[in-house]
Amino acid sequence: MSAPLCSLTLNLPDETATDALARQFAPLVTGATGLAPGGRIHLCGDLGAGKTAFTRALLRESGIKGRIKSPSYALLESYKVSNLYFYHFDFYRFSDSREWLDAGFRDLLRDDAVVLIEWPERAEGLLPPPDLQIDLAYADPGRDVTLTAFTARGQTWLNAIAPLSQKPCPTPGPVAGA
Ligand SMILES: Nc1ncnc2c1ncn2[C@@H]1O[C@H](COP(=O)(O)OP(=O)(O)OP(=O)(O)O)[C@@H](O)[C@H]1O
Ligand SMILES: [Mg+2]
């Protein structure tokens, strides 16, 4: 994994706070704020930490209608809104990271799609670095979340969602494709 560029830690006291944070990402990944649409997000944390809850809120706010299922069993749920593809993966069931290659998912990791991956560590070493990694941890109250940018696009997202007093990435670079 390449080096993290900058990060931000926040407390999410309840599920409403998780939803609110996730909803802030929707306009960033869909291009509504003027950034190039797409991006890859890795979601890490123990069982029940809130990876699916976060993703569901982001997808809902991005305009996905109907049931948003957890990909725990199917490994992948995909969606399309206008011309933008969303791929929601869950690699928990992989026992060997090479299963990821065998599953033929590599072609879906496109920069112009929104790719959300739960349990990316189960494909350790085979995935390219994400734009953003989200680490969720049980806390009192609720959850602590650490957002880490690995690319210029991730840096731009982090600065966009950080509180004004807490901009974590002082020198964001140009965003690929913007
Ligand atoms: N900030 C929060 N504080 C307390 N509870 C929360 C918070 N955010 C989400 N939750 C709750 O935590 C649970 C998260 O479940 P979720 O299925 O999203 O976990 P997960 O990380 O995807 O687990 P898995 O590894 O099994 O896929 C839900 O019951 C949700 O209501
Ligand atoms: Mg989940």
Supply the CATH number for residue 27's domain: 3.40.50.300
Give the residue numbers spanning the domain of 112: 6-31+48-161
Task: Estimate the share of the chain in helix, then strand, then coil, as percent rounded to the nearest 5.
Answer: 30, 25, 45
Residue 82: other Cβ atoms inside 10 A: 8
Q: Is residue 172 part of a domain?
A: no
Q: Is residue 109 part of a domain?
A: yes
49-81 pLDDT per residue, tens:
999 999 999 999 999 999 999 998 889 999 999
120 CB within 6 A, ligand 1: no
Q: Whose CA is nearest to atom 8 of ligand 1?
A: 15
pLDDT at 1: 57
HSE, CB side, 13 Å, CA atoms: give it for residue 133. Answer: 19
Instruction: State the burial class of residue 92 (Cβ atoms within 10 Å of its Cβ: 0-12, 13-18, 19+).
Output: middle
| Least confident residue range of 84-88, 118-122, 123-127 | 123-127
14 CB within 6 A, ligand 1: yes
Q: Is residue 171 part of a domain?
A: no
Ligand 1 pocket test, pick from 23, 41, 143, 144 with the greatest ligand atom count within 8 Å of Cβ, gives 143
Q: Is residue 95 part of a domain?
A: yes
Residue 154 backbone dihedrals phi, psi, to 5 degrees: -60, -40
Q: Is residue 136 part of a domain?
A: yes
The whole-number average pLDDT for the span 114-119 is 97
Confidence band of 126 (pLDDT split at 50, 70, 90): confident
Q: How far is the CA of 56 from the centre of ligand 2 (A)?
A: 10
Q: How far is the CA of 15 from the centre of ligand 1 (A)?
A: 8
CA dihedral 1, 3, 23, 80 (to 10 degrees): -40
The number of folded domains in the chain is 1
Q: Is residue 124 part of a domain?
A: yes
pLDDT at 178: 46
Q: How far is CA 141 from CA 10, 15, 43, 68, in A?
A: 12, 11, 20, 27
Confidence band of 95 (pLDDT split at 50, 70, 90): confident
Q: How far is the CA of 178 from the centre of ligand 2 (A)?
A: 31
Residue 173 carries which side chain, given as an amino acid letter?
G
Q: Is residue 148 part of a domain?
A: yes
The whole-number average pLDDT for the span 31-58 is 97
pLDDT at 106: 87
Contacts 24+ apart (CB under 8 A), 14-19: 14/141, 14/142, 15/50, 15/53, 15/142, 17/142, 18/50, 18/53, 18/54, 18/57, 18/142, 18/143, 18/145, 19/53, 19/57
